[in-house]
Structure 1
C-alpha cells in the first residue's frame, strides 16, 4: 500500500486490508521518505499501529498494538507478538493499519506499507498473567516509586526485567508501566514483581495536545489517545481511567516536543507531574503553574491537585528513580499507594538518598503533615518544622500562597538539617518545602533536590 500525505493531513489515516480464514500470522513493515527541510522546520515522522476486524472506533475493542515510530516492522500471532502488540486470535475480516503522521515536511510524506499474511494453524492462545496487587511492604510507611517508565513495548530500549532491576538498585518500592499508547506490556511485568517491588499497570496516553499518565489501572486496560482538546472527548476518557481504578496524571505539561505540551486543562486531573527527569526550565514552569493552582484552591476552596515526580526513563543514560515520588501509604499495595498519591501524602526526591519530614503544629498539640490540613483559627501561631537528610550544601525554601517566605542557609556537607519557622493560617494558607542545589546565577533558583506537597492551614 502506497500513498502520500500532505501537510495538514488528518492525525490518523487508516489503510484497510483483508485477513482470510486460516491466517496464522500478520506481519507488517513500512518505509517513508525523509526529504531535507529548511532549518527549524520539522521533517517527516510517521507512527504506525494495528486494529483488527472489530474496527477503529475510538475506545473500541479493535486495538491490537501501537509502536509509534519506534519500529519499522512488527507481527502478531495468536501466541506471540512484537513488543507493543497484543497476542490473540487472528479472526477473518477487514483489519486496518493505522498511520499517524506526527510531523509532515513541506514536500509531503510518501509511504509504503507491506502486509504479509502467513497461512497455517494458529498457536495456542494463553491467558495473560499479571503482577500481584500487593507486595510485602513495611506496614504504614513512606514508599518510593517511579510511575513514568518506558520499556521496549513502546519507544524504550529496556525490557521490563531490566527496568525492575534498575528500580531495585535505585531503592524503589513500586513502579508503574507507562508505555506510549499500548497496554501490551502489562502481562510481561508479572515475573519482575516480588515481595520487595510492587508493579502498577498503566499507559502514557500520547495525544497531539499533550501526554497523560493513566496510572495504576486495571490489568489490560487500554486508554485511547486519538483526539485533541477541541474534540471535547477528554472528560469521557478521563472518567474511563478512573472507572478502571487508575489516576489521571498530566505528564511534563510544558514539554517542548511536538504535541507534548498539555492543552486539556486540569479539571479532570488527579495529580500532575511537575518534575520529569533531570530538572529543567520546563519543570520550573510546571512547578509555577501547579503553585498557581494551589493558590486558587486556597482562595476559592475545593479540591487541590497533588504534585508528582518521575524519571520518564527510556534508555541509557536515563536514570530510573530520578526523580522519585515518596508516598505515605498504609501498605505496599495498589490500593494504598494510589490512595496516598491521590491524597497528596507525598513528596518528590531526586534519589533515595534524600528524605524530608515536613509538619506543622500548634501550641495546643494539633499537628498536620504533608497533604493534610491543620484546622485551627486564622490567628493561631503555628510552627513549621522541616527535617532534611541527604542534601549536602542544598538550600531550603518554604513557599506559601504569598510566595517564598523563608530561605535558609545552605545545609552542611552532611546534607542533614532541621529548621523551624513560625507563621499562622491568616498569613499562610499553606506551606510547602523546596530543597535546591546551589547555583552560580545569583537570584536564579538552583536545580531541585526535593519538593513536598503542601500542608494546608486554617479551617476549610
Structure 2
C-alpha cells in the first residue's frame, strides 16, 4: 500500500467516527478531518504540485441536514478542487431516492451567517474549484488561506438503503494569481422617469442550477420586454459580480438570492451586492426572523417564493409575518398558483379586518433553461425612476400588477363621487356608504374575461372583446367591499378551476 492509498484508507476509517456538532440552526454533524502534508520547501506561496485525498462513507436515513467534512489546508495552496459522487439506488414507487448537495466554507468557519461561505452548487455539479482569480460558477473566487475548511454535504433525501458517497479533494500548490475586484451592477438605469416598469425577480443561471449564462439571461430579458431583473441563485451570491457589461439604460440588474431551506424558498430581492443570505435552518429552529431582518438591513425585500409548490422542501412553512411581498404566480400558471392566489387573498381579508399592513403579491418566471421563458410572468411596477430604491419601494407598497407577458397591459383604479381616486396598492378614503366605481382597462388579452374580486369573492365578471382590448366597470361601496382587485383570465382548462390568469392586480382598499 503506497502513501496515497494509506492516506485514503485512513480517511475512510476516520469518516466512520462521526462527532455531533450543534450549530444553533439545522441539525448537522462534523466528520473527522482530512489532512495534507506540507510540501518540502513550501511557504506561503512556494512549492508546486498536487495532493489528493479520497474519502467516503454512508449516510443513514434520517441524517442531519448538513454534514461537514473538515479539510486541513496547509500554507502555499493556490487552488482547491473538489469532486464527489454518490450512489443512486433503486427504490420502490413512492419512496424517495438519494440526492446529495454540496458546497464549501473556508477557514473562517461554518457558523450561521456564512462568514466563511465560499460557494454552493447544490446537486447541479459533480465538481468545483476555487482559487484567487477564478472559481466554478456558484463559488466565490479568492485566496485559499491556510486553516480548516469545511466541505458541506447536504443529504436532501436519503433512500432506505442509505446514501453512499465519495469525495475527492485535491490541493494544488504554487503561487496564487492576483484576485480581481468584483464589478457590480449600478443601482440606477436610464429609465423613463415615473412610469410602469416590467421585471422578473426570480431567475437562474449557470451560477446555480440554471442552464443559461448571465449574457443569455440579459438578452432574454430584453427580448421579453423587461426593464429590470433580479439575480436569484440558490443559496449563493457568487453571481453578483457576473453581470459586467450586461446592464444598460434600458435594463436594471438587481442582486439577490433564492434562500432555499428545507421548509420553503424565499427570494432575497435587491440586496446589497455581495450579500450572502444563509439557508441552513428549518422553520422549527425559529431563525428566519433574524435572517429576514438581515435581508432588509442589506436593502432588500423578503419574498416567499412559490409558497404552495409541491416539490420536496418547496412549500413555505415559516409564516408570512416577515414577508414584504409574496410570489403567488411562479412560471406558467398551474393549480398550485391558484392555491397560492387564494391563500394570499385570505391575507387581504385578515389585513382589512385588523387594519394592519397587507402583503403585496408578485409573479416571476423562475426560469432555469430553455424552453422555460424569461418574463412569464412578470411584475409591472409603478416607480418614480428605474432604480433599485424606486423599484423596491413600488413592490413594497403594492403599486404593481402581474402579467403573463409584455403583451398584456392593465390600468386599474377606484373613484368616489367627489373626484377622489386611488390606484393599485392605494386606499380610496370615502364614507362606508359612498358609491365607488372601479374601472379596469385591458390590452393584449384576446379571448379573456375580466373580473373584480373583493373580500366576499368574485362579484363581477365580463368577457373582453375578441381583440383583447377593452374595459370593465363595477360600482360598490366600502361597506360592501373592503377592497377590490382585478383579474384577467383565460378560458378554463382544468375542470373545477377557473381559467389560468393572464394578469392580476394588487388591491385598492376602500373606506377610511
TM-score normalized by structure 2? 0.89
Which residue of 481, 500, 503 corresponds with 1:447? Answer: 500
TM-superposed deviation, 1:411: 1.5
Alpha-carbon distance in 1 for matches of 2:105, 2:479? 57
Q: Is the 8 Å Cα contact of residues 114 and 276 (structure 2) preserved in structure 1?
A: no
Q: Is the 8 Å Cα contact of residues 443 and 470 (structure 2) preserved in structure 1?
A: yes
Which residue of 109, 121, 128 corresponds with 1:55? Answer: 109
Match status 1:432 vs 2:495: no
Give the aligned partner of residue 402 of structure 1.
456
For residues 269-288 of structure 1, the aligned pairs below 5 Å read: 269-288=323-342
Match status 1:170 vs 2:224: yes
Per-residue CA deviations over 1:332-368 (Å, capped at 9, x if unaligned) read: 0000000000000000000000001000001101000
Per-residue CA deviations over 1:248-280 (Å, capped at 9, x if unaligned) read: 000000111110000000000000000000101
Per-residue CA deviations over 1:156-207 (Å, capped at 9, x if unaligned) read: 0101110000000000000000000000000001321111100000000000
Alpha-carbon distance in 2 for matches of 1:89, 1:291? 49
Q: Is the 8 Å Cα contact of residues 86 and 164 (structure 2) preserved in structure 1?
A: yes
For residues 33-432 of structure 1, the aligned pairs below 5 Å read: 33-408=87-462, 410-432=463-485
Q: Which runs of 4+ in 1 moved over 3 A?
A: 440-443
When residues 441 and 83 of structure 1 are mapped into structure 2, their CA distance, relative to the original with a 3 A threshold, is closer
The two structures, once aligned, show a CA RMSD in angstroms of 0.8
Aligned pairs, how many?
458
Q: Is the 8 Å Cα contact of residues 359 and 455 (structure 1) preserved in structure 2?
A: yes
Alpha-carbon distance in 2 for matches of 1:437, 1:87? 47
Per-residue CA deviations over 1:274-304 (Å, capped at 9, x if unaligned) read: 0000101110010010000000001111100
Q: Is the 8 Å Cα contact of residues 132 and 190 (structure 1) preserved in structure 2?
A: no
When residues 440 and 342 of structure 1 are mapped into structure 2, their CA distance, relative to the original with a 3 A threshold, is closer
Q: Tell me the secondary structure at the aligned position of residue 185 of structure 1.
A: helix
TM-superposed deviation, 1:419: 1.3
TM-score normalized by structure 1? 0.99
Alpha-carbon distance in 2 for matches of 1:282, 1:295? 20
Alpha-carbon distance in 1 for matches of 2:77, 2:130? 11
TM-superposed deviation, 1:325: 0.2
Alpha-carbon distance in 2 for matches of 1:420, 1:162? 42
Alpha-carbon distance in 1 for matches of 2:508, 2:356? 15
Alpha-carbon distance in 2 for matches of 1:19, 1:415? 64
TM-superposed deviation, 1:127: 1.2
In structure 1, list runs of 5 or more residues that go unmatched.
none
TM-superposed deviation, 1:126: 1.5
Q: Is the 8 Å Cα contact of residues 464 and 471 (structure 2) preserved in structure 1?
A: no
Q: Is the 8 Å Cα contact of residues 367 and 374 (structure 1) preserved in structure 2?
A: yes
Q: Tell me the secondary structure at the aligned position of residue 426 of structure 1.
A: coil
Q: Is the 8 Å Cα contact of residues 400 and 428 (structure 1) preserved in structure 2?
A: yes
